[in-house]
Structure 1
Amino acid sequence: MSNRRFSNPSLIAPSTNGRWGLKALPAIVLACATAATASAQANKAVSRSTDEGGWPNNDSYFSVISDDGRFIAFQSEASNLSGNDSNGSYDIFRRDIVKGTTDLVSVSTSGYAGNGLSMAPTISGDGRLVVFASSASNLISGDTNGQWDVFVRDMDTETTWRISVYSDGRQGNNRSDSPAITPDGRYIAFHSLVSFDSADTNGGYDVYLHDLNDGRTTLVSTTADGTVGNGDSIWPQISEDARSVVLFSGATNFVSGDTNGWSDVFVKDLLTGTIERVNVSSTGTQANGETIWPYISGDGSAVTFCSKASTLVTGDSNNNWDAFVHTMADGQTTRINVRPDGGQADSYTRSPTSLTGNGRYVAFASLATDLVDGDTNGMQDIFIRDLLNETTQRVDFGYEGDEVNDDCFVPDLTSDGRYLTMTSEARNLDYGFAWYTRNIYVTDLDAALYLTQDDLVRGHNAEFTAFACEPGETVYFVYSTKGLGNGPCPPQLGNLCLDLRDPVKTLGKAVADASGTAALTKKIPGSAPLIDVYTQAVARRGNKGSDSVKSHFVSATIMP
């Protein structure tokens, strides 16, 4: 979801932008988990250059994704992702998966790369605004404090400005970091050592909220009566309506009875001013161990975190890190990383989590091997837990449906649950992209087929290939030149909706071989216009097409 630092979805009908959400997620993911050899993952490498001609020359980390899954922001040490990256340090990039472009974000309004490190990206719901922390002093004029600051880059207007400032616009005199933005792009939460408010007298880190509309910077990490916390407060996350901010704090004066000696997770209600500790058991027992990585759902209904405490749920005797969810309405705390029978996992879960907008689904990374059947790779995998049905599915599979061959971590879900980004060192996630660096990937959880295609060149043949088909089935390759959106829902496919705008035309069809691969070769006409083409593969399955499946889309420009 877009509010990670680094409107509720419908479960019945597709959204107005044609993106299918949670209603399709459990079935698709279950197919991957129980029949890995028969299902593909539509993983696409994100941390790559615009022309996709070269692989990154260094590691990438910490991705965040826009609500429609089109834009992914991430931080990277690679210097060959963008032509204007000349600083030799961590930078922030934004990948457009529709156009296949990668843009350097951590630049000045004049386009110069930052002269310092840039980290911790967060992105607005429409992908237009990317917020990040940076030690660079050349992103704006007048940056003379020699400190880390929080900046906003408007990708449409190509302007950059600083938001970790006093309400009158003055710069701070100390470090600011860890931003989180609301989907509408109006509010940004961050933590800072600067006392932007006169009430901030503790000399430590505190959480602030900056309003882009009026420029005000407001202190968040306070008690109900406005007293600043007596310990550091960091890692804010914010709900979609900016009413609730979750933070991690060592303060002991936020709530009465805070005597555990550990930093805790709190939710501040900015409307009422109240603050509540949430890393507690369902009966209110405080944690007896360390807690990290808080995250709040878009509607503010649920908070997730990781903890080594054994007092949050009954029967926690594994002396290990676990993931938990606390529901705000009833105060219940539940362990997430559990076996199908409800038992505790055989290894740790200690990585940032991500929730869908309505708080129903949570993505997390775990080294456990007993959360689902068939987990034999010995790697840290990505899982999605359905908190309503109490089921868990593994979602990080190779493009042929096999297990990943290295660790995956730091997932981020779109609000509707269709798209997921992650960081991984695995070399079998994206067809033809097997590079020995940490890379960012985006996965379309609705897609059951995996589609690849050659370059589209006038007068030359191009091969279109669908993997993970059922042997002997007919696969149709369709295309549109009108872009992506709410596509047709053919009755012969059981009203499965395509992601291509009308008119959608058929390239051709192919029968899948014994390995589940269907390939179609088409010659691109010599007079074809040099335009963008969007392609998708579909297969009719089930009674009257009721179980039909589709691939992710592939976009390409016809070349001369």
Structure 2
Amino acid sequence: MRGNTSRVGTRRVRAALGAAAAVCAVTAALPGAAARAEPARAAGAAAVGVERISVAPDGTQGDGDSAGASITPDGRHVVFSSAARNLTPDGAAGTDAVFVRELQTPLTQRMGAYHPIQPPAISGDGAYVGYAIQWFNDVRIRQYQVRTGGTASPNCSAYSCDQPSLNADGRYTALALLIRKPAPANRQRVEVHDWNTGAVVTVASFEHTYPARPSISGDGRYVAYQNGQTQDVFVWDRTTGTSSGPVEGPSTAATLLQLSDDGSTVVYLSGSDTYVHDLRSGTTRLVADVRGVAVDPTGRHLLYAPTGTGGPSLVLRDLETGTDQVVSDRPASAGIDAVSAGGRDVVFQSAADDLVPGDTNGKSDVFVRHLS
């Protein structure tokens, strides 16, 4: 049905897992070819080097652990969660809260007083933030307007929902919605909410609650998601209301990492390798023996963690030239949406105390590596 990819189809056997899985192969129009020019660094952008983000208005280091950061495509806004109480003048509420740092001002704002149970998401223009919270026995999503700090829109008031992904201007939010009733089995839907019109579109329906990990394109046209039970990755197209996939092929177990902001590239993990799938050409690039972490908005730059020991913890690779730049040679981690357009900036978290001068708080901090 239109807008619904509930999987009822041919059974296949995974070579790696030996488990049966259903196949859905619906043809969808995918993004046309487009040039991937490197964007120019914005005027007033920070100099090359590492900048600590989880700091108080006067530059004082945070007094609590910070993590779960994402950066906007223009490298201007960073959203993260922190238990620090001194990042804003009013102080946090004594537990983890969500903050947005505007790097050029610089200004930090707290987004609500709730404790996030997943890393927060930010719209591409930095105008809206969404994150999942525990709401009695359910999980809900709170979405805020950054300019005012006020609630922008309450999500899924009747069900439990999480895993939000916001498009470029915050109009569309892709999320996973859990339906516990009617009994006995839990069910799940991937939905896209249009906050301008109030419309809700079902992208996919599953008879299970394995993570769907929806990832929406900047224009809201495409949503990548996974069937966590069968370990398949699909891409839904709003214009046709159908999904294509599995993008990894008929005999591979895959975990979705991220859809590029321009909707042209899907990155997924399989075994000990990372795969970068070009939706325009249908070709897939193998990045062997690395754990992909994030892709930049154009799909050209891959942030990854080498699997070996003794080397850097985070590396950014230009997939067109094959060149690598070290993001952190100290223990560090990052999440999706960690890379700005053109691979100019990478946000990450680390407890290392020698990335910037004067790091004596003994906490995990959020940093941005500004690259050339």
**Alignment TM-score, normalising by the size of structure 1:** 0.47
**Letter of the structure 2 residue corresponding to residue 270 of structure 1:** W
Q: Does residue 283 of structure 2 align to residue 349 of structure 1? A: no
- Which residue is equivalent to 1:419? 301
How big is the shift at 1:297? 1.1
Unmatched tracts of structure 2, length 5 or more? 1-30, 327-341, 343-370
- Which residue is equivalent to 2:199? 274
Listed as ranges, the matches of 1:138-177 within 5 Å are 138-143=86-91, 145-164=93-112, 171-172=113-114, 174-175=115-116, 177=118
**Percent of paired sites with the same residue:** 24
**Letter of the structure 2 residue corresponding to residue 149 of structure 1:** A
**Structure 2 CA distance for partners of 1:392 and 1:274, relative to 1, 3 Å:** same
Q: Does residue 218 of structure 2 align to residue 298 of structure 1? A: yes
**Letter of the structure 1 residue corresponding to residue 173 of structure 2:** V
Q: Does residue 153 of structure 2 align to residue 216 of structure 1? A: no
How big is the shift at 1:16? 7.7
Q: Is the 8 A contact 1:149 1:177 kept in 2?
A: no
Q: Does residue 173 of structure 2 align to residue 245 of structure 1? A: yes
Rounded to whole Å, the distance in 2 between the matches of 1:321 and 1:391 is 20
Q: Does residue 304 of structure 2 align to residue 384 of structure 1? A: no
Q: Does residue 208 of structure 2 align to residue 307 of structure 1? A: no
Listed as ranges, the matches of 1:13-52 within 5 Å are 13=35, 15=37, 17=39
Listed as ranges, the matches of 1:52-451 within 5 Å are 99=48, 101-143=49-91, 145-164=93-112, 171-172=113-114, 174-175=115-116, 177-193=118-134, 204-222=138-156, 228-231=157-160, 233-251=161-179, 261-280=186-205, 286-288=206-208, 290-309=210-229, 320-339=230-249, 343-345=250-252, 348-350=253-255, 352-367=256-271, 380-394=272-286, 396=287, 403-404=288-289, 407-410=290-293, 412-426=294-308, 434-435=310-311, 439-448=313-322
**Structure 2 CA distance for partners of 1:424 and 1:293, relative to 1, 3 Å:** farther
How big is the shift at 1:203? 6.1
Rounded to whole Å, the distance in 2 between the matches of 1:16 and 1:448 is 15
Q: Is the 8 A contact 1:207 1:219 kept in 2?
A: no
**Structure 2 CA distance for partners of 1:229 and 1:422, relative to 1, 3 Å:** farther
Rounded to whole Å, the distance in 1 between the matches of 2:109 and 2:197 is 31
Where 2:79 maps in the other structure, the secondary structure is: strand
How big is the shift at 1:287? 4.0
Q: Is the 8 A contact 1:133 1:176 kept in 2?
A: no
**Structure 2 CA distance for partners of 1:13 and 1:388, relative to 1, 3 Å:** closer
How big is the shift at 1:187? 1.4
Rounded to whole Å, the distance in 2 between the matches of 1:10 and 1:444 is 22
**Alignment TM-score, normalising by the size of structure 2:** 0.69
Name segments (4+ residues, structure 1) moved above 6 Å: 449-452
Per-residue CA distance 1:303-362 (angstroms, 9 max, x = gap): 1222234xxxxxxxxxx42222222222322334534xxx321xx323x42222332221
How big is the shift at 1:240? 0.8
How big is the shift at 1:107? 1.4
How big is the shift at 1:189? 1.6
How big is the shift at 1:288? 4.6
Query: How many residues were matched structurally?
Result: 298
Q: Is the 8 A contact 1:116 1:137 kept in 2?
A: yes
**Structure 2 CA distance for partners of 1:144 and 1:449, relative to 1, 3 Å:** closer
Q: Is the 8 A contact 1:132 1:178 kept in 2?
A: yes
**Structure 2 CA distance for partners of 1:445 and 1:205, relative to 1, 3 Å:** same
Rounded to whole Å, the distance in 2 between the matches of 1:381 and 1:291 is 20
Rounded to whole Å, the distance in 2 between the matches of 1:177 and 1:111 is 27
Rounded to whole Å, the distance in 1 between the matches of 2:137 and 2:185 is 22
Rounded to whole Å, the distance in 1 between the matches of 2:176 and 2:127 is 22
**Structure 2 CA distance for partners of 1:259 and 1:274, relative to 1, 3 Å:** farther
How big is the shift at 1:239? 0.8
Where 1:291 maps in the other structure, the secondary structure is: coil
**Structure 2 CA distance for partners of 1:137 and 1:338, relative to 1, 3 Å:** same
**Structure 2 CA distance for partners of 1:414 and 1:118, relative to 1, 3 Å:** same
Listed as ranges, the matches of 1:2-21 within 5 Å are 11-13=33-35, 15=37, 17=39
Rounded to whole Å, the distance in 2 between the matches of 1:111 and 1:258 is 53
Q: Is the 8 A contact 1:149 1:175 kept in 2?
A: yes
- Which residue is equivalent to 1:461? none
Rounded to whole Å, the distance in 2 between the matches of 1:262 and 1:180 is 24
How big is the shift at 1:298? 1.1
- With a CA cutoff of 8 Å and minimum separation of 6, indicate the structure with the bigger relative contact order: 2
Per-residue CA distance 1:138-157 (angstroms, 9 max, x = gap): 22233352221101122223
Rounded to whole Å, the distance in 2 between the matches of 1:362 and 1:258 is 35
Rounded to whole Å, the distance in 1 between the matches of 2:268 and 2:284 is 10
Rounded to whole Å, the distance in 1 between the matches of 2:323 and 2:145 is 43
Q: Is the 8 A contact 2:81 2:116 kept in 1?
A: no
Where 1:408 maps in the other structure, the secondary structure is: strand
Rounded to whole Å, the distance in 2 between the matches of 1:392 and 1:259 is 40
Whichever of the two has the greater Rg, that structure is: 1
**Structure 2 CA distance for partners of 1:118 and 1:203, relative to 1, 3 Å:** same
Per-residue CA distance 1:50-78 (angstroms, 9 max, x = gap): xxxxxxxxxxxxxxxxx99xx9xxxxxxx
Where 1:185 maps in the other structure, the secondary structure is: coil
Unmatched tracts of structure 1, length 5 or more? 1-8, 19-66, 72-95, 165-170, 195-201, 223-227, 281-285, 310-319, 368-379, 397-402, 428-433, 453-485, 487-553, 556-560
**Letter of the structure 2 residue corresponding to residue 210 of structure 1:** Y
How big is the shift at 1:130? 1.0
**Letter of the structure 1 residue corresponding to residue 251 of structure 2:** Q
